[in-house]
Structure 1
């Protein structure tokens, strides 16, 4: 499964079952803007990477894989952006939805700086704590908006 634009040049898909059942694209281009749907840490087969272990109630019991899940989210975003000739440098805003704020804050700075290649990434960033995400072992989901050709500023 690779990111593709099978229906038209303005929408992108992974080809995963939840796109069909929920009914949405992974990314949509409008003019020079790209809107990327919430990305989580799935691999090319649609399987969750670094899933959190679950307790007896089906809730994550360990948040130590937050950083790895976050890195894979950004890698998936980068693959979608590349379909349009864009990159993470074109991201102007992102929202991170996390299950555990402390676990996220422990890794978010290091991960963001690494994926954006800057000590001061130029994407406006929001982080929101939520009670649950789409898949139970999922700890994070990232949504972003990019502007193709946005002037990059390295910090």
Structure 2
């Protein structure tokens, strides 16, 4: 799907059509990745913060690869978390699994009282550049 030199990608999840959005959009040298959840290809959420965060980053990596990018192209992430302490620990403990140099990524973590799906504990939004 292209419009105004934009290219979009999705996972074919039901909520993409229901809500109406792209999982990732590229325009020019920038890729914006919508908040990623810790779900597999069937739309099933992983159990627990750590597992959901790991799966969220796996989904991010998959979307980046569709634009021939890697996690090294990420310039900013925003993490929305139901439990800040658990999310902070998970991100801290796995930072080098997610990024080769985490100190080259601007990161914000925001505590929220609710997310899109029942049982969802974390959502991660990304901006990457070519």
TM-score of Structure 1 vs Structure 2, range by shorter chain: over 0.9
Structure 2: gaps of 5 or more residues: none
Distance 2:86 2:61 in 1: 23
Q: Does 1:32 align with 2:29?
A: yes
2:104 corresponds, among 105, 115, 122, to: 122
Between the two proteins, the alignment pairs up a number of residues equal to: 127
Higher helix share goes to which structure? 2
Take 2:87 and 2:8, find their aligned partners in 1: how far apart are those partners? Answer: 30
Aligned residues of 1:40 and 1:142 also touching (Cα < 8 A): yes
Q: Which among 76, 93, 96 is matched to residue 113 of structure 1? A: 96
Q: Distance in 2 between matches of 1:19 and 1:125?
A: 25
Give TM-score scaled by structure 1 length: 0.78
**Aligned residues: CA RMSD:** 1.2
Aligned counterparts of 2:69 and 2:13: Cα–Cα separation in 1 = 22
Q: Secondary structure at the match of 1:10?
A: strand
Query: Does the 8 A contact of 1:13 with 1:26 survive in 2?
Result: yes
Per the normalisation by structure 2, the TM-score is: 0.92
Conserved in 2, the CA contact under 8 Å of 1:42 and 1:72? yes
